[in-house]
Structure 1
Amino acid sequence: MTSARRRLHHDNQTSMELYDKAAQSAAAQIIVHYSTSFGVGARMLSPAHRRHIESVYAMVRIADEIVDTYQGEDAGELLDAFEAEVWRAMDGGFSTNVVAHAFGATARAVGITREQTDPFFASMRMDLERTVHDDESFAAYVFGSAEVVGEMCLAIFINSSSGPRPLDPDLRAGARRLGSAYQKVNFLRDLGSDEDRLGRSYFPGVTSHTLTDADVAALVADCRADIGAAQACLPGLPRRAAAAVSTTIDIYARLLDEIETTPADALTGSRVRVSNGTKLYLAVRNSCPWTAPRRKAGGGTE
């Protein structure tokens, strides 16, 4: 074989490793386009952690887009098909859906199983079936849509180097509470738009029309309690992962501060935000431990 033919043969070869990399690169684009808060945190991670977090975020986002953005009559069928692709990628190691394929590689590498993905997809399906929640359905929804996602992220931080192994119960509880806090903050930020655009009301007994300043105070306090519990677990994470998580905590703490000082009737008409400049400042500060301020329970700093 001539050198030209050998080069052509090499250039055209395919492999599962190449497909894995291509799928992971595609999945990484989802977080770039959808989230500055988690994107900032992800960029602070080690390459291995970042790659896996990007794959989890992409899978979660695609499912969310099916139920929130598409809204077609066949959304349930599309969600079922996407879930089946995720299962196939987790079990068989291959999917023609590159986001499912990337997630499957991550799941096998760190020990994410259907113990986490089944509740997640159950919650996504609830968005197609329920518009109002009671205490029981709200708890089930938050568990599946957010708490198990926090657990997936924890598995990445703890198991990327070692491979699948059981998670520490205290760390898992902290990860779940942090996921819960982030979800509830987003519910508060989107209370008006969720009702107007999607026809959904998540908080039991609370709507954009009945929300009071007392309701806001109680919900903010609940979120801060979850964040405080999660902060106690940060020392159990690898250093760069702890810094990244601390940054997202600080961003959401800023959001809670803004929510707390916004009158209830104004909160439902606009979405509270943290500027990109502030997010970058928080990332730089948390990347330098010697400059990081002492933390208070609930996400604030001293």
Structure 2
Amino acid sequence: MDTGTWAPAAVRRELDAAGVPPEHHAAYRRCRLLNARHGRTYFLATRLLAPAQRPAVHALYGFARWVDDIVDDPDQQRTVADRQLAVDRVDRTLRAGLRAGRSDHPILAALIDAVSRHRIDPALFTDFMASMRMDLTVRDYPTRAALDGYVYGSAAVIGLQVLPVLGTVGPVAEAAPYAAALGEAFQLTNFLRDIGEDLDRGRVYLPMDELAVFGVDRERLTWCRRWGRADRPVRRALADQVARTRARYRAAEPGIALLAPRSRPCVATAFTLYGEILDRIVESGYDVFRRRVAVSGTRRASVAASAIAAVAAARLRARG
């Protein structure tokens, strides 16, 4: 993180650059804090955007993280029924705020301001909430098509929400499929990295029919979680899932060139660092049941530094 991560003056400069009115500053700050605490790779990449772009990305991330925490209930204090009621309240409040163009809620105020400012399609939030509701009751996905239905609402729409903030060099519709594909690639990477944690919540985010080809089912995955290691059939199944996820990255990569030049270093950095999580998974021998595989802080800093240098050089060329 740069020296301006927590400095109030730096945050205020971002908000002022984005034209955020003072009454929404506290809401944006709260979303920014959620991003910095829970989305290290995303937050680092966001630092490469122009200051005026950053608050909207923080608002989108903060909202998604807030709802995700309601669904997952990290402290395990609420029943499924309680969480369902909480999600329903969020949905009603969000819909009312989108209709009114404003909200007094400390997170939704920032989100709705960003939606209005960047003309983000409100329907994308309906799809997102639908996938969040699935997490309350769905425990596994029998086919790739079933999983893709969930991933569209939980991840593809995030790419589509962010796209108007990033900007494009041509029609938005041309870049949209690539933005959706990249959101999906990030989510599929999370599924592979977080297999153990998801099993603890009773969920499997890998297509069961594709796992079955290798003789893998929920019981075998649970055994691996219990013993903290992947056996040979599971390693083969996960290698197949890694290959499928890498194909999704390849499908998304051409879209980076369709983004506004100022946004490309940010997305390219996230693309590189998230893709390297797959490399770490493979290098670890698919050791995802005992620990959370991650790209090192040194590597994240190195990739970000290269991107920062590229941004600085581009700005100098533009001035010259």
- The TM tier, using the shorter chain, reads 0.7 to 0.9
Match of 2:48 among 32, 35, 44: 44
For the Cα contact (< 8 Å) 2:265–2:311, is it kept in 1? Answer: no
Residue correspondence of structure 1 range 95-110 to structure 2 within 5 A: 95-110=103-118
- Pair 1:143-2:164 in alignment: no
- Alignment correspondent of 1:154: 163
Summarize the Cα distance change of 1:200–1:190 in structure 2 as closer, same or farther, 3 Å threshold.
same
Q: CA deviation at 1:290?
A: 9.1
Q: Which runs of 5+ in 1 are unaligned?
A: 1-15, 160-165, 293-302
Residue correspondence of structure 1 range 1-302 to structure 2 within 5 A: 17-69=21-73, 71=76, 72-73=78-79, 74-135=82-143, 136-158=145-167, 168-196=172-200, 198-205=201-208, 206=211, 207=218, 208-209=221-222, 212-264=234-286, 266-289=287-310
Sequence identity (%): 28
Single out whichever of 65-74 and 34-43 deviates more from structure 2: 65-74
Report the aligned-residue RMSD.
Answer: 2.3
Tell me which amino acid in the other structure corresponds to 1:150.
Answer: G
Q: What is the rounded CA distance, in whole Å, between the counterparts of 1:250 and 1:133 in structure 2?
A: 28
Deviations 1:216-254 (A, max 9, x none): 222111211111222111111122311011111111121
- Find the residue that maps to 1:263 and give its secondary structure: coil
Q: Which runs of 5+ in 2 are unaligned?
A: 1-19, 212-217, 225-232, 314-320
- Alignment correspondent of 2:16: none
Q: What is the rounded CA distance, in whole Å, between the counterparts of 1:262 and 1:214 in structure 2?
A: 14
Q: Which runs of 4+ in 1 moved over 4 A?
A: none
Deviations 1:132-172 (A, max 9, x none): 1122331111000000001111121128xxxxxx9533311
Summarize the Cα distance change of 1:94–1:291 in structure 2 as closer, same or farther, 3 Å threshold.
closer
The two structures have a TM-score, normalised by structure 2, of 0.79
How many residues align? The count is 270
- Alignment correspondent of 1:4: none
Deviations 1:250-273 (A, max 9, x none): 111211111122324x32221111
The two structures have a TM-score, normalised by structure 1, of 0.83
- Alignment correspondent of 1:11: none
Tell me which amino acid in the other structure corresponds to 1:153.
Answer: V
Q: What is the rounded CA distance, in whole Å, between the counterparts of 2:101 and 2:87 in structure 1?
A: 20
- Find the residue that maps to 1:267 and give its secondary structure: coil
- Alignment correspondent of 1:7: none
Tell me which amino acid in the other structure corresponds to 1:54.
Answer: H
